[in-house]
């Protein structure tokens, strides 16, 4: 049942019987504020022209009519121009029965909309790092939430697998690698290639320094260093499909993809389709010609093509270099056009850091000027930087926080803290390994996703694994506690039912939990509308915290009334189901034991 719609219908009937029909938009219902008694509040002020009475008199009359005509309403109170309505325990018991009867609770009906979510977008010259972790977790979770909202979702990754930065790793490996491979070195392929990217930079800086010592300016030395000249020559050979260079590129990229796959699996993220820049970098040139013909773009004397966005408060933007080569904007124009045509997309979401805000603003503007009506359905899900406390989990290169290091560090921290608290005492080594990985990754994911994407955040590994705060392990532990309770109940002959026992008398503690459960579909809907996993995360935490208070204050298996004992155990089972569902939308597993 849609509770707000139910109340709107009853309120509309009450108003009609008192004053005559009113327009639906005048019936404004909201959740009752915590400092007042009630479940939902009717804002009376819009109705005063119809009632021709004061706000308190109008609210009192509507409340009395509702109480007399609607048995689901157990009481009301009036605070100035607000009518606070309380719903009966029997009403909430019926809502719990509805929740239990719905195996896909929180999942919306299919909408027919197709949404593409692009995330990850790594370069193949180095391993994934902390920034990629936030990107991947955010993109994957948003995709899961959109699926829960009934949309057909396509998860894609655009790999930046070409360009001078890729050639730098290749050249350094060829010059200094001595034939080293992932198999011979024991290194993950992405780490091995990243090692040679760092090696290139080391030799490049040495050559620049030497040239400057010989009298060259810094700018000239950077341009003339032999190793950068060689890398540029290698890029030209790649573009010409030189067999040797192209073969090396395929081999080294293969090493990187194997390494990426290990990291993606550890993070629990995947993709429905992977695009490669080597296949898309020529896209968009036809759109440049189209824009020139329409007078949207202009050509400068050097042959380069630009768009003037001064009328939009921006500057001129390059679309094609004088030598005819494309830039990222050209590629993105072509890729977007290809995707909307191929998949008949309703929405396209790019999960990219906030340093690219301007790029996506320009992309939408240009597509709109080219007459692409779907440009308004492009959304840049911009996110802030994520940082670690000084000195924590630095990568083996000492410059960025490596994703693999961070994941393993989280698992190690989970083990350390779990051992301190005695949570692994009764586990086999295999069970302990599985639990520590589940807790460590759950802590990492939840700590990142509970923060609004737009905010820069500080990630503290030990704080994220606190079993008592707003953390993934707290939610996981609550789920495991309920599962333990259910096992104990089953052992004692108390089983969960698919419907509450008839005429069971629910207390405020039970109905408050049911009210929280009843909000879940609206929370999933809001998270989908705003592309914000943090809404799910904080809802799950509030539910887990509320259950723990209930567990502490209310006897469940020790309850003497058999019907109430069964009702409380059944309610606990539904709480665990919704916790698991919400955590799954964040890409987080919940353990049966902990």
Cβ distance 116 to 538 under 8 Å?
Answer: no
Architecture of domain 403-585: Orthogonal Bundle (1.10)
Cβ distance 435 to 502 under 8 Å?
Answer: no
Given a cut of 70, the residues of the chain with pLDDT beneath it are 390-399
> Pick from 204, 32, 207, 133: which is nearest to 401 by CA?
133
Instruction: List, as own/partner pairs, every contact residues 560-564 make where C-beta atoms lie below 8 angstroms and the sequence separation is at least 24, other chains included.
Output: 563/501, 563/503, 563/504, 564/504, 564/505
* DSSP-assigned letters across all residues of 386-428: EE--TTSS--TTSSS-BHHHHHHHHHHHHHHHHHHTTTTTT--
DSSP letter at 470?
Answer: S
Model pLDDT for residues 120-137, shown as the tens digit of each residue: 999 999 999 888 999 999
> Hey, which residues does 117 pair with through a beta bridge?
155, 349
Contacts of 177 (CB under 8 A, 6+ apart): 196
Q: How far from chain centre, in Å, is Cα 85?
A: 35
Model pLDDT for residues 356-408, shown as the tens digit of each residue: 999 999 999 999 999 999 999 999 999 998 877 764 434 334 457 889 988 99
What the block records as the tokens of 522 is 């609206």
The Cα 494–Cα 579 span in angstroms is 22
Contacts of 478 (CB under 8 A, 6+ apart): 544, 547, 548, 579
How big is the CA angle at 587 (ends 583 and 588), to the nearest 5 degrees? Answer: 55
The Cα 38–Cα 35 span in angstroms is 9
Q: What does CATH list as the number for 119-384?
A: 3.40.50.620
Element (H, E) at 28: strand 28-31
The pLDDT assigned to 391 comes to 46
Angle separating helix axes 189-213 and 226-239, nearest 10 degrees: 130
Q: H helices of 47-163, where?
A: 48-51, 55-69, 89-101, 130-148
Model pLDDT for residues 152-173, shown as the tens digit of each residue: 999 999 999 999 999 999 999 9
Task: Give the three-class secondary structure for 88.
Answer: coil
CB burial string 221-244: b at 16+ within 10 A, e below? bbeebebbebbeebbebbeeeeee
Task: Say what the pTM is.
Answer: 0.92
Residue 585 CA: distances (Å) to CA of 37, 146, 185, 467, 543 = 33, 9, 38, 21, 15
The pLDDT assigned to 386 comes to 82
DSSP letter at 40?
Answer: E
* DSSP-assigned letters across all residues of 505-518: ---HHHHHHHHHHH
Per 3-state DSSP, the chain is made up of helix, strand and coil in percentages (nearest 5) of: 60, 10, 30
Q: Where are the domains of the chain?
A: 3-87, 119-384, 403-585
The pLDDT assigned to 462 comes to 79
Residue 307 CA: distances (Å) to CA of 132, 289, 324, 336 = 32, 12, 16, 18
Is it true that domain 3-87 has CATH number 3.40.1170.10?
no
Neighbours of 503 (CB within 10 A): 8
> Hey, which residues does 79 pair with through a beta bridge?
82
Neighbours of 289 (CB within 10 A): 12
The Cα 508–Cα 491 span in angstroms is 28
Based on the number of CB atoms within 10 Å of its own CB, is 151 exposed (0-12), middle (13-18) or buried (19 or more)? buried
What the block records as the tokens of 517 is 């459960």
The pLDDT assigned to 383 comes to 94
Dihedral of alpha carbons 187, 193, 197, 203, sign:
positive
Helices and strands in the chain, H and E counts: 23, 14
What the block records as the tokens of 187 is 């290194």
Model pLDDT for residues 232-243, shown as the tens digit of each residue: 999 999 989 999
Residue 501 CA: distances (Å) to CA of 360, 483, 588 = 56, 21, 33
């Amino acid at each position: 049942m849609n509770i707000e719609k139910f109340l709107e219908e009853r309120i509309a009937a009450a108003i009609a019987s008192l004053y005559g029909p009113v327009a639906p938009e005048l019936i404004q219902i909201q959740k009752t504020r915590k400092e007042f008694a009630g479940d939902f509040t009717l804002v009376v002020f819009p109705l005063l022209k119809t009632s021709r009475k004061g706000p308190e008199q109008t609210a009192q009359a509507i409340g009395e009519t509702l109480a007399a005509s609607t048995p689901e309403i157990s009481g009301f109170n009036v605070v100035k121009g607000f009518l606070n309505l309380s719903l009966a325990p029997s009403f909430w018991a019926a809502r719990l029965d509805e929740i239990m009867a719905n195996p896909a609770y929180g999942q919306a009906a299919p909408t027919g909309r197709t949404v593409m979510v692009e995330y990850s977008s790594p370069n193949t010259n180095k391993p994934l790092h902390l920034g990629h972790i936030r990107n991947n977790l955010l993109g994957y979770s948003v995709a899961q939430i959109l699926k829960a909202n009934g949309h057909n979702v396509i998860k894609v990754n655009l790999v930046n697998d070409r360009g001078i930065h890729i050639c730098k790793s290749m050249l350094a490996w060829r010059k200094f690698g001595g034939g080293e491979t992932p198999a011979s070195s024991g290194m993950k392929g992405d780490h091995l290639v990243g090692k040679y990217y760092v090696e290139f930079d080391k030799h490049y800086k040495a050559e620049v320094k030497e040239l400057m010592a010989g009298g060259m300016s810094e700018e000239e030395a950077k341009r003339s260093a032999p190793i950068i000249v060689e890398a540029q020559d290698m890029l030209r050979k790649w573009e010409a499909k030189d067999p040797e260079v192209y073969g090396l590129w395929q081999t080294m990229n293969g090493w990187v993809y194997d390494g990426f796959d290990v990291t993606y699996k550890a993070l629990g993220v995947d993709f429905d389709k992977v695009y490669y820049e080597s296949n898309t970098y020529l896209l968009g040139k036809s759109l440049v010609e189209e824009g020139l013909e329409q007078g949207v773009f202009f050509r400068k004397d050097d042959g380069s093509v630009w768009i003037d966005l001064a009328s939009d408060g921006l500057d001129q933007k390059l679309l094609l270099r004088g030598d005819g080569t494309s830039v990222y904007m050209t590629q993105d124009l072509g890729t977007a056009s290809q995707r909307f045509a191929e998949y008949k997309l309703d929405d396209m979401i790019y999960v990219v850091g906030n340093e690219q805000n301007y790029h996506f603003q320009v992309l939408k503007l240009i597509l709109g000027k080219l007459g692409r009506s779907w440009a308004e359905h492009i959304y840049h899900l911009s996110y802030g930087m994520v940082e670690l406390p000084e000195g924590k989990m630095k990568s083996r290169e000492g410059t960025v926080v490596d994703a693999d290091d961070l994941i393993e560090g989280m698992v190690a921290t989970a083990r350390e803290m779990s051992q301190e608290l005695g949570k692994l005492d009764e586990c086999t080594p295999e069970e302990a390994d599985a639990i520590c990985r589940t807790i460590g990754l759950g802590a990492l994911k939840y700590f990142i996703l509970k923060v609004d994407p737009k905010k820069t955040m500080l990630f503290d590994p030990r704080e994220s694994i606190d079993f008592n705060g707003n953390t993934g392990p707290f939610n996981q532990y609550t789920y495991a506690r309920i599962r333990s309770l259910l096992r104990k109940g089953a052992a004692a002959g108390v089983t969960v039912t698919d419907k509450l026992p008839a005429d069971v008398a629910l207390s405020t503690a039970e109905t408050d939990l049911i009210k929280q459960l009843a909000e879940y579909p609206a929370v999933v809907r809001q998270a989908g509308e705003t592309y914000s996993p943090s809404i799910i995360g904080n809802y799950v935490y509030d539910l887990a915290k509320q259950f723990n208070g209930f567990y502490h204050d209310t006897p469940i298996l020790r309850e003497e009334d058999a019907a109430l004992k069964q009702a409380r155990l059944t309610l606990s089972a539904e709480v665990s189901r919704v916790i698991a569902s919400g955590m799954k939308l964040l890409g987080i597993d919940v353990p049966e034991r902990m």
